[in-house]
Amino acid sequence: MSAPTPASSIPNSWRDRLGTGLAQLHLTLDPGVQQRLLEYIALLLQWNAAFNLTAVREPLAMIDRHLIDSLAVLPFVPGPDLADIGTGPGIPGLVLALARPFERVWLVDSNGKKARFMRECLRQLAPPGVSVHEQRAQALPAGADFSQVISRAYTELADFVASTRQIIAADGRWLAMKGKRPDAELARLPADIVIEAIHRLDVPGADGERHLVVMSSSG
């Protein structure tokens, strides 16, 4: 659908916004990585005009709500692999894969338009080890043994766990990105689910609270 975005065509205002956000997160990414992240935003902006992939329309807001919000969890996602459930246009999984290489990343979403967009991103940006899975989480094949399964505002915690048990390793962790601390959802988790940590994230440009819930299974 589109050619790669030349570095010279990325507005300085985008670079400044990303650089400021990274500094506030105390993250350092090399210029080539930052360029690929902004190329992703350029692609998302172009495709969004035709396919309505995200409600966020303005590019600086996309940098805040999609890039910076995703990168805020990077310190808590050490690897080596990652499955992102209900990823939409690749948030946070593709953003994280562009920021740091993983051995394997699955981007899972049943929406055909979003899956096509992500395949175009993989064609143009070529993050290693990343694949798109256009299906529901419950239909993913058993035995994938991911060390980390992540979601951002995908569903209630208990449903997130139930729909992905077949792909997580015995010692794997679920990482759920939430707004406000989801105490009511935490209370409804199955008895075998251990809450390892709840991180309050300080995300610049966020339109409310941000938390990361880290869970594992005692069974």
Task: Domain of residue 99: give its range.
Answer: 7-217
- pLDDT of 7 higher than 60: no
CA-wise closest residue to 201 among 92, 45, 43, 79:
92
Average pLDDT of the residues in 105-125 = 97
Question: Domains in the chain: how many in total?
Answer: 1
- Domain assignment present for residue 97? The answer is yes
- Domain assignment present for residue 84? The answer is yes
pLDDT of residue 8: 56
pLDDT of residue 2: 57
CA-wise closest residue to 145 among 110, 104, 97, 99:
104
Kindly report the CATH number assigned to the domain that includes residue 15.
3.40.50.150
- pLDDT of 9 higher than 80: yes
Predicted model pTM: 0.95
**Element (H or E) spanning 146, and its range?**
strand 146-152
- Domain assignment present for residue 2? The answer is no
- Domain assignment present for residue 139? The answer is yes
Q: Which residue has the higher pLDDT, 2 or 160?
A: 160
Residues 20-54: tens digit of each pLDDT: 999 999 999 999 999 999 999 999 999 999 999 99
Q: Which residues pair with 85 in a beta bridge?
A: 108
- The CA-atom distances, in angstroms, between 44 and each of 16, 28, 120 are 19, 23, 10
* Average pLDDT of the residues of the chain: 95
